[in-house]
């Protein structure tokens, strides 16, 4: 053990490696993922309380983790507030119920506010909230162990309880399916249709009305790239990229499906997936590329991560996006050079945006907000970078400065810094956890169980009964509000529907930010 005491680096990477292995071990339908690093660090520090990491490691990992969460969540956060307010309201209500339960049960069981706020953070899987609570309670640089103890006990409880809630929603959906449950999210297809009659539409009009992209137009046996201003005439063959149900509606209203797929003939008009790595285009809308004007080209689809998106003109582009471009065969090389088409460049860490963004966030961390009643809210190195990340992520870029990070870079930084922070938290709380479990283990379990149950009950009732969501959207709302990746993975495994992923992605940033602020307010006022 003295090796771990003498070498914080050994401790860090041992806990990350062994914790990752433990996190992959299935316990029934679930594994603990990154939390394995927390439990490994707790075990080490329980054996020897001198095992610890420097404070700078905690602060560095926490601020980078919160910033990358904010950057990735910025666009979805704005969209959620604008269009998805009903599930957002459910999530906010459920989180308030969690906080009220934590305070009520915690005070009844005579726990200090650090343990209560930590249990709230653990029951909400809000690591950023845990960091904010620790900083709010820190005195003379000393981070109290109580929040981490509450977090460590509540975390596994909420994983199992949320999975039980997911299983309940799935069971109800099978017994009493709604109309939404019977619907399937149609995949994106590339098909050719023949226009019958004169629809009085241009290519642009058709794309806007039906949320589709026309990439080729064949008239009189000649195939060309479809230009927005081109009028559609009877007998035209249109190569359309759209959801399968949208294409079916197009065919029903404007013509019939063609006997042959002309887009398979690539002798003159060809298509290719091209990776966007030119920083001049990152954070800009698709129409800003002016590909039609410069290269007689059309983008029909964008693949971002593992998801295909219809290439609407207002789609904001990110580094690493793979654009499916249709153009004259001899222009594809020029288009590739213009867009960059470099996986290495697309995976660049963007040190300018990352460094400047974190600088703004850490300057804001010094801000102390006066609260009614005489309290003070310290934004700190958790909340401030999170807020700045959300704002900059929504902006995308400011002049020549790109704020967003490539998806693979953001995911890597996010996962690694999360595990490092959990190790730092665990090494400071192991001995205290052993004592707490020995003295009041049952009370801690009751606290974590009631907080998690409050969230699950509100979400299940409101999403299924009040909003009448189908199984997929209800699962997305529940797991997105909860934040935990394990129940989300369970839900996706049982119901592999994109509506689960969409609901999770929409609610994740809202829930994270609200939990961070609420956890701090709990500490200030109670």
Locate the domains of the chain by residue range: 57-180+383-425+432-525, 188-346
Q: Which superfamily does CATH assign the domain made up of 188-346 to? A: Regulator of K+ conductance, C-terminal domain (3.30.70.1450)
The predicted pLDDT at position 141 comes to 62
DSSP string, 211-225: T-EEEEEEETTEEEE
The per-residue pLDDT for range 159-179, each reduced to its tens digit, is: 888 888 998 998 888 888 887
The pTM (predicted TM-score) of the whole model is 0.76
pLDDT band at 216 (very low <50, low <70, confident <90, very high): very high
The Cα 474–Cα 90 span in angstroms is 11
Alpha-carbon separation of residue 410 from 23, 349, 468 (angstroms): 21, 8, 35
The predicted pLDDT at position 128 comes to 81
Phi-psi region of 392 (alpha: psi -120 to 50; beta: other; left: phi over 0): alpha
Average pLDDT over residues 126-135: 83
The per-residue pLDDT for range 475-500, each reduced to its tens digit, is: 989 998 988 777 887 787 788 777 78
Percent of the chain with pLDDT over 90: 35
Does residue 453 have a pLDDT over 90? yes
The per-residue pLDDT for range 18-62, each reduced to its tens digit, is: 988 988 887 766 667 777 888 888 888 888 888 888 888 888 988
* More confident call, 407 vs 315: 315
Does residue 456 have a pLDDT over 90? yes
Q: Is the Cβ–Cβ distance between 426 and 48 less than 8 Å?
A: no
Alpha-carbon separation of residue 207 from 188, 213, 327, 344, 503 (angstroms): 14, 5, 18, 34, 26
Average pLDDT over residues 109-134: 88
CA-angle at 23, arms to 386 and 117, nearest 5°: 45
The Cα 308–Cα 188 span in angstroms is 8
Average pLDDT over the chain reads: 86
Does residue 90 have a pLDDT over 90? yes
Tokens of 157: 């409880």
Average pLDDT over residues 326-347: 90
b/e string for 511-521 if b means 16 or more Cβ within 10 A?
A: bbbbbbbbbbb
The predicted pLDDT at position 124 comes to 87
DSSP label at residue 186:
P
Does residue 80 have a pLDDT over 70? no
pLDDT band at 363 (very low <50, low <70, confident <90, very high): very high
Which residue is it, tokens 């801690």? 444
The predicted pLDDT at position 212 comes to 92
The predicted pLDDT at position 151 comes to 87
Cβ neighbours for 242, distance < 8 A, ≥ 6 positions apart:
188, 189, 210, 211, 212, 213, 250, 310
Q: Is the Cβ–Cβ distance between 427 and 19 less than 8 Å?
A: no
Tokens of 500: 């689960």
């Amino acid at each position: 053990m003295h090796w771990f005491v003498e070498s914080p680096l050994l401790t860090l990477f041992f806990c990350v490696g062994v914790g990752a292995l433990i996190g992959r071990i299935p316990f029934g339908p679930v594994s603990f993922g990154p939390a394995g690093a927390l439990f490994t660090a707790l075990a080490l520090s329980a054996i020897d309380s001198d095992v610890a990491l420097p404070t700078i490691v905690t602060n560095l990992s926490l601020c980078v983790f919160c910033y990358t969460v904010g950057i990735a969540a910025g666009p979805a956060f704005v969209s959620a507030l604008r269009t998805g307010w009903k599930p957002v309201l459910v999530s906010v209500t459920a989180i308030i119920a969690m906080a009220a339960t934590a305070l009520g049960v915690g005070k009844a069981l005579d726990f200090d506010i650090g343990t209560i706020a930590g249990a709230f953070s653990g029951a909400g899987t809000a690591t950023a909230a845990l960091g904010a609570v620790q900083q709010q309670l820190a005195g003379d640089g000393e981070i109290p162990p109580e929040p981490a103890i509450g977090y460590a006990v509540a975390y596994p409880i909420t994983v199992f309880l949320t999975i039980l809630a997911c299983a309940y929603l799935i069971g109800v959906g099978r017994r009493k399916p709604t109309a939404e449950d019977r619907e399937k999210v149609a995949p994106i297809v590339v098909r050719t249709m023949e226009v019958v009659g004169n629809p009085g539409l241009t290519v642009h009009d058709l794309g806007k009305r039906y949320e589709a992209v026309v990439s080729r137009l064949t008239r009189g046996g000649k195939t060309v790239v479809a230009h927005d201003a081109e009028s559609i005439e009877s007998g035209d063959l249109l190569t359309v990229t759209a959801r399968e149900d949208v294409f079916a509606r197009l065919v029903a209203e404007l013509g019939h499906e063609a006997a042959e797929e002309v887009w398979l003939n690539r002798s003159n008009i060809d298509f290719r997936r091209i990776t966007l790595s030119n920083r001049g285009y990152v954070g800009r809308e698709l129409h800003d590329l002016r590909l039609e004007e410069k290269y007689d080209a059309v983008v029909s689809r964008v693949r971002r991560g593992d998801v295909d998106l219809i290439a609407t003109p207002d789609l904001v582009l990110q580094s690493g996006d793979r654009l499916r471009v249709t153009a004259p065969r001899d222009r594809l090389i020029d288009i590739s050079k213009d867009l960059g088409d470099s996986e290495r460049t697309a995976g660049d860490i963007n040190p300018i945006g990352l460094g400047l963004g974190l600088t703004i966030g850490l300057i804001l961390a010094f801000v102390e907000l006066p609260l009614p009643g005489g309290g003070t809210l310290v934004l700190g190195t958790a909340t401030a970078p999170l807020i700045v990340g959300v704002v900059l992520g929504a902006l995308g870029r400011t002049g020549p400065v790109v704020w967003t990070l490539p998806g693979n870079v953001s995911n890597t930084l996010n996962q690694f810094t999360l595990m490092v922070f959990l190790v730092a938290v665990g090494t400071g709380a192991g001995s205290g956890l052993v004592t707490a479990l020995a003295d009041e283990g049952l009370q801690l379990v009751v606290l974590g169980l009631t907080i998690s149950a409050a969230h699950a009950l509100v979400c299940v009732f409101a999403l299924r009964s009040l909003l009448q969501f189908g199984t997929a959207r209800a699962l997305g709302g529940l797991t997105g509000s909860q934040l935990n990746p394990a129940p989300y993975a369970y839900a996706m495994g049982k119901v592999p529907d994109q509506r689960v992923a969409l609901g999770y992605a929409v609610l994740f940033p809202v829930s994270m930010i609200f939990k961070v602020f609420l956890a701090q307010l709990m500490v200030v006022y109670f």
